[in-house]
Amino acid sequence: MIGLVYYLPSPRHVGVAKMYEILNTVEPFQQSGRKTVLVVVDQLPDASIVSRFDFVQAYGIKPFGIPAVRQICVVKDNSTFFDAVEFPLYTLEITEGKLPGGNGIPWDWSVAKTFCERYPTLIAGGITTENVADVIRQAHPFGIDVSSGVESSPGVKDMDKVKRLIENARL
């Protein structure tokens, strides 16, 4: 999966023009069955760009007009209630820090195992090249959601870290 963040305060923010450019580039990636995710906070960009994504992962808003089958439900703690039948995929994270999301803070992923056994779940928050194998071993998630753990500086991906993360995830 490829995720693009639409949230101006984030160092990972991608503007709409750049989103079109990226989505046009990864179109063969999508045609081969891989998925794209639009991560939004507080507001959606215009509908024409939203429709290009396979999934929407929303913080702070309910993405009205987007069918539940295209939404990734963000579960932050045990107080989050939902109808599991509605959503095809979940992101499970323990949120700390000033921005929505995991903020690069690791947590006890073993507590996610039961949730991951019941629902297709992406684990987020503090995942790095060094701990990705432990995350997978402890929680058995459908996938992992990584941002800062593979960056050389905020918002700048380090391809060596990305490659090491993938290698270590396969251990």
Q: What is the residue-level pLDDT of the chain in tens, covering all 171 positions?
A: 999 999 999 999 999 999 999 999 999 988 899 999 999 988 999 999 999 999 999 887 888 888 988 998 887 755 454 555 577 888 877 666 666 665 566 777 888 888 889 889 998 888 999 999 999 999 999 999 999 899 999 999 999 999 999 999 997
C-alpha pair distances (Å), 62 with each of 9, 45, 59, 67, 74? 19, 13, 8, 11, 11
Separation of alpha carbons 49 and 63, rounded Å: 14
Map residue 162 onto helix, strand or coil: helix
Answer for the pair 56, 19: CB distance below 8 angstroms, yes or no: no
Q: What is the pLDDT of residue 171?
A: 74
Answer for the pair 130, 124: CB distance below 8 angstroms, yes or no: no
Considering the chain, tell me which residue range(s) the CATH 3.20.20.70 domain(s) occupy.
67-171
Report domain 67-171's class. alpha beta
Tell me the sheet residues that pair with 114: none
Q: How many CB atoms lie within 10 A of CB 135?
A: 25
